[in-house]
Structure formats: C-alpha cells, structure tokens
Amino acid sequence: MKKVLLSVGLFAMTMTAKAQVISFDAGLKGAYSATEMFNNNISDLGAIQDYRMSTGSNYGVALNANLGKIGLSVEFLPGTFNTGYQGTIGSGNFASTYTSNVELKTFSIPILVRLGGQTGGYAEVGISTNGVKLATYSNSLSTATADVTGKYNSYTTAVLGFGSNISLGDSFPLILNVGVRLQYGITDAAGVDALGNDLTNTNAYPTYQKSSAASAGLHVGLTYKIK
C-alpha cells in the first residue's frame, strides 16, 4: 500500500514536472486527537463494556515535496494513542462500575498525497503505518497496571485531511499549517477488551473480530520553505 501511494504521488508530480518547479519544505508538527479502538465483540456487550472517549497526541517532523498543486508528504510522529472504556459488572448490591484505559505508545509514519499549493487551502489523502512500542492497561477497580504490549499488532490507518497553509510573510520562509485529520484502521490492531482480556481468546470470543483504531484530530505545524 505504501509503495502504491508513493507511486501515485510521484506519477502525478512527474506528469506536470515540465510545466512546474518542484519546491520542498520541512517542519515540525503536533496533533491532539480524539481516539478510540473499535471492536464489534466489545460493541455487542452493551453496558458491561462500553466505549469512553479518550484522547491522544503526536509530535514530530514532516517532509514535503510540492509540484504546482500536488504535493507528497512523509511524516515521522511518535505519540500516544488512548482507548477508553466504562461499564458495570455484577448486579444489584454486587454491581460495580468501572472505567479502564489502554495507553499505546506509537510511532506513526503517514504518507500522504496533498492537493493544494505550498500555501492556501489543501486536502490530503493517504495511509499511516503505526508501530505499537508499548501498551499499558489500567482499571479504576485496581491500582495495578498490566503490560499488554504483546497483545497488540502494528496497524495501518486510512487518512483523510483538510486544512490551510498560511505564509508568515513573502520574505519570511515560514508557513503555519493548521488542519483537521481523520483516520480509521484498515488492518487489525488486535489488543484487549475493557476488562483486559485478550481479544484473540476464542474461549471468550468464539467469533473473532478485528480491532480498528480511529481518531479525529487537530494538526498544527510550522514549516520552513527550503526552495
């Protein structure tokens, strides 16, 4: 998928290369997002295990090549992705409510084709590969945490974004980037449920369902125009 996207971006840029000048920019960027990991086996459990909105963040560097109104971007973004849950276990006088969370330490590499100039509005589409470096499970019913890194797969998300590149001056080589980016998992992240149980355990979940990471976030960056 990464090779296909790179090929599409490079082909589109090559087709217009004779009439345009290629420009480059690089910069720093950060993101703050609403995050969740969706799995149909959890969704089917109702009040026992329910989703609770969580947030995550990324920061890193972006490298961009621009040819007229077409751009190709590669970013390197370490960060945190949280997936939250809440529910009630037991019944009557023995019922207990809880919240739980899995914090993923990730390293994301988005590869994006961008439509729009080096400055002004833009739309972007592509994929992001997301490596899971550490996964920690916590539950409000216990002070203990559990390392569940081995339960998670690295995963790929589809990416769609919109935003604006704002020049900070004709003679000043900096561009302020502000945008919104949506992502949804196209490969299985696996993982654990709201109670920390392995989602690949066929005794607990006879019919396996994939886990899809989803996020919607605000992205802000500061870019230096190299050429």
For residue range 203-216, list pLDDT tens digits in order. Answer: 999 999 999 999 99
Of residues 34 and 92, more confidence is placed in 34
- For 119, other C-beta atoms within 10 Å of its C-beta total 17
More reliable by pLDDT, 91 or 26: 26
pLDDT reported for residue 12: 52
Q: Tell me the one-letter amino acid at 99.
A: T
DSSP structure class, residue 150: G
Give Cα 93 distance to the centre of its chain.
Answer: 41
pLDDT-derived band at 156 (thresholds 50, 70, 90) equals very high
CA 27/CA 64 separation, integer angstroms: 9
pTM greater than 0.85: yes
